[in-house]
Amino acid sequence: MTATYQFAGKTILITGGAGDIGKATAQRFATNGAGVALLDLNEPKMVEVAEELKDYNIPIGTFRCDVTSADDVAQAFTSAVEKFGRIDYVFNNAGYQGVFATTDKYPEDDFQKVININVIGVFHILKAAAQHLREAGGGAIVNMASYAGVVGPPNMLAYGASKFAVIGMTQTAAKDLAPYNIRVNALSPALIGPGFMWTRQTELQAAVGSQYFDADPKVVEQQMINSLPMRRLGSLAEVANGVAFLMSDEASYITGFNLEVTGGE
């Protein structure tokens, strides 16, 4: 049974709002009455998500935003606050997985792209959220980290490094912002699927040709699942439930925490 949290009259801002996790989280909060502000570069997909949310009869807004641009982020926050009055929760979710390659072959341009989106972009949103929530009297932020930022997976140098950074930023920001009644936590999903990202991950790991995974993506799927204590994939709903818990009053005592979803050690 999914826990019911009271978010009526509140607003959540979700970056990466056009993606699967962003959509699932938007639906989770809309179910409990929250208004939803979606931020993404993919405007057509973001509008599709917004259309699907209309059945929940909650306030909805879409805002084009490149998280690697501080100016874009500032404008998106200003526009969202103008529409909703205030933002109560921020799900700092936008990210890029990058290519799969061994360290000696990892392309520098892709490494820079991953860092720009997953570290600099997360910083831009975190800073803007902190400024707004401090003025508003408090709130909650959840940064999207990853199990990759806990274990350092093979062939994912940039992504793993970026998510380690997100966990570190979360812990520091939690200390900095606690005096202003702002809680900051991270969420680290392990293997989430089925879906495009899960299929992409298994195919790319198989293609690397490393000692860790088979050359057959179907075998890789089982190898990866068997590496988890729970021996199963996590679902989008479980990720969204984790975000909802960390934002809720039931988690009012939690800050600086990294919640691992399905498969944490």
pLDDT of amino acid 197: 87
Q: What is the pLDDT of residue 6?
A: 87
Helices and strands (H, E) in the chain, number of each type: 10, 7
pLDDT in tens, 102-118: 999 999 999 999 999 99
**Residue of 5, 147, 159, 180 marked active site:** 159
pLDDT of residue 2: 67
Two tokens, residue 44: 């057509």
Comparing C-alpha atoms, which of 176, 174, 181, 149 is closest to residue 256?
174
Q: How far apart are the first and last CA of the chain?
A: 24
Residues of the chain with pLDDT below 50 are 265
What pLDDT, on a 0 to 100 scale, did the predictor assign at position 265? 46
Domains of the chain: 11-192+235-261 (3.40.50.720)
What pLDDT shows up at residue 133? Answer: 98
- Would you call 159 a catalytic residue per the annotation? yes
Tell me the torsion sign for CA atoms 70, 71, 77, 81. positive
pLDDT at 263: 59
* Those residues with Cβ within 8 angstroms of residue 71's Cβ, 6 or more apart along the chain or in another chain: none
Share of the chain above pLDDT 70, in %: 98
The tokens describing 224, both together, are 């990866």
